[in-house]
């Protein structure tokens, strides 16, 4: 395993304002909202590997690794690489699951941003946000990483 280990925060978000404007046929709500990030966060630690494996270490029970948004984000970004790289990811889960703070989406976005830098993929923030939208409606706001007005399902920032 490589010695390059980096820790990244995955912040919680709070909707300061939320107005539902419509509902799409796929069940997603169209909305207008203001997102604000909090200092309260999960911590994700990334260690580059010498192989192509994505290894997740977490004490969150009940979610199979292949369904975890962090693993899905890493695999999604890895699929964009010409030469595949591996990583071990440790999650210090502080945000409650299902608590409405965006913990899973934040973890996925943090994974995309961190691995984009560590794997030197060179994708822009907008490209990462587009990838993130395939993982969840809140992921793009976390990729952008700042308070914002959002519309649509949350992806129009």
Active site residue 6: no
Q: Are 13 and 142 in contact (CB under 8 A)?
A: yes
Q: How many other C-beta atoms can be found within 10 angstroms of the C-beta atom of residue 72?
A: 18
Higher pLDDT, 64 or 3: 64
What's the mean pLDDT when you consider all of the chain? 90
pLDDT digits (tens, 9 = 90+) for 74-99: 999 999 988 889 999 999 999 988 88
Range in 44-48, 139-143, 144-148 with the lowest mean pLDDT: 144-148
Nearest CA to 105 out of 64, 77, 133, 130 is that of 133
Per annotation, catalytic residue among 51, 93, 107, 138:
138
Tokens of 71: 């693993």
Greater confidence (1 vs 135) lies with 135
Beta bridge mates, 93? none
Asked if residues 114 and 8 have their Cβ atoms less than 8 Å apart, the reply is yes
Q: Please say if 13 is a catalytic residue.
A: yes
Give the residue with greater pLDDT, 113 vs 60: 113
Q: Please name the helix (run of DSSP H) or strand (run of DSSP E) that holds residue 75, with its range, or none.
A: helix 69-78
Domain boundaries, the chain: 5-152
**Distant-in-sequence, close-in-space partners of 87: CB < 8 Å, separation ≥ 6:** 46, 47, 48, 49, 54, 55, 74, 115, 118, 119
- Res 156: pLDDT: 78
What pLDDT shows up at residue 1?
Answer: 45
DSSP letter for 59, please.
-
How confident is the model over 60-76, as pLDDT tens digits?
Answer: 777 888 889 999 999 99
Q: Residues 101, 116: contact at Cβ < 8 Å?
A: no
Which member of 6, 13, 22, 39 is catalytic? 13
User: Tell me, what's the pLDDT at 3?
Assistant: 54
CATH label, 5-152, candidates 3.30.390.50, 2.60.40.1150, 3.30.465.10, 3.30.230.10: 3.30.230.10
């Amino acid at each position: 395993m490589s010695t390059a280990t980096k820790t990244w925060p995955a912040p919680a978000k709070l909707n300061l304002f939320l107005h539902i404007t419509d509902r799409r046929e796929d069940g997603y709500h169209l909305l207008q909202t203001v997102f604000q990030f909090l200092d309260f966060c999960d911590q994700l630690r990334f260690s580059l590997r010498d192989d192509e494996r994505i290894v997740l270490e977490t004490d969150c029970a009940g979610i199979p690794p292949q369904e975890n948004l962090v693993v899905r984000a890493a695999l999604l970004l890895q699929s964009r690489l010409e030469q595949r790289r591996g990583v071990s990811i440790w999650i210090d889960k502080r945000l409650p699951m299902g608590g409405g703070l965006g913990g899973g989406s934040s973890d996925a976005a943090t994974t995309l941003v961190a691995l984009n830098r560590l794997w030197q993929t060179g994708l822009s923030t907008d490209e990462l946000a587009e990838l993130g939208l395939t993982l969840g409606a809140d992921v793009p706001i976390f990729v952008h990483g700042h308070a914002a007005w959002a519309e649509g399902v949350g992806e129009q920032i």
